[in-house]
Structure 1
């Protein structure tokens, strides 16, 4: 049996159906990790999904997906909230059966987002919910460290988002 073929690429408007399906999968798997509820995402109109899919084609933001033998198995996004903050990693998801170092999906996605982010700053930031220790360990393994800054998680059940940062000195370059 041939090994699965992994493609990492940015999204485009024509991908809106796949972007929607993956987002719903993300929200079902780890609802606490995203600032949107499944109930809300299920009501979003096509025009909004098309706009979300275009993030991969829009300056100042990126949307990167992992596709393995035609199946969408992961996503990472990035945007620049403001000049002082610099690039922010968002929308991180890898399908449960494709997680871990052996699969290579996570590192491939992060490499691509880091390439993009390195063009916009020297660090990459993210926020992780305080009640998501698995994600926090994952980010630490990839070189992110806690900054000590927090923000309020806006959805129920509430809690805090913990800011983490990674220096991009050694980020892969295009």
Structure 2
């Protein structure tokens, strides 16, 4: 099955909404928003969220099945105020896990991040119980450097900060 990796556009806000709701239902601890909160957003909010991915310092790609036009994955990044790049909103539908989609999404994000002036790498936060995601990131060169932050939706649990340093920077 062919999956195209590309940037979303505002007119596709319903696809964006549907994917986000599936993300939150599938892996609630991977995100800083609850399914109930997301279900309450109106069209204006969903349109804003897609537009936001095109603002300077932001980048997002989606994986779209060519035959069905179904969005089956996403990954994004943004520059934080401290001048780094943060990987966010990582999701691949279960039927597409274990293949190449996650790698293709990550490759697109990393290509963008390497072009951000003065940035020597990319960081992410992954929930301590999301072992599958931690393993994926380690296989791609991300390193746990010991930083822990409280998970925003449940401060009794933690997120692990991982980083991938860019060669030659």
Give your verdict on TM over 0.5.
yes
Q: Which runs of 4+ in 1 moved over 6 A?
A: none
Of 93, 96, 120, the match for 2:94? 96
Of 150, 154, 157, the match for 1:156? 154
The correspondence of residues 137-152 of structure 1 with structure 2, limited to 5 A, is: 137-152=135-150
Of 40, 44, 55, the match for 1:58? 55
Residue range with higher mean Cα deviation, 5-14 or 71-80? 5-14
Alpha-carbon separation, structure 2, partners of 1:153 and 1:17: 28
SS of the aligned residue for 2:40 comes to coil
Q: Is the 8 A contact 1:114 1:168 kept in 2?
A: no
Alpha-carbon separation, structure 1, partners of 2:155 and 2:18: 25
Change (3 A) 1:16 1:158: farther
Shift of 1:148: 0.7
Deviations, residues 57-109 of structure 1 (Å, cap 9, x unaligned): 2211011101112221100011111234x110000000001011xx3101110
SS of the aligned residue for 1:152 comes to strand
Alpha-carbon separation, structure 2, partners of 1:124 and 1:36: 22
Shift of 1:168: 2.5
Deviations, residues 125-174 of structure 1 (Å, cap 9, x unaligned): 0000111111111111111110111111121374111100002228xxxx
- Where structure 2 has 5 or more consecutive residues not aligned to the other structure, the ranges are none
- Where structure 1 has 5 or more consecutive residues not aligned to the other structure, the ranges are none
Q: Is 1:71 aligned to residue 67 of structure 2?
A: no
Which residue number in structure 2 is paired with residue 46 of structure 1? 43
Q: Is 1:32 aligned to residue 29 of structure 2?
A: yes
Which residue number in structure 2 is paired with residue 17 of structure 1? 14
TM-score (structure 2 length as normaliser): 0.92
TM-score (structure 1 length as normaliser): 0.89
Number of residue pairs matched by the alignment: 164
SS of the aligned residue for 1:57 comes to coil
User: What do you get for the CA RMSD once the two structures are aligned?
Assistant: 1.4
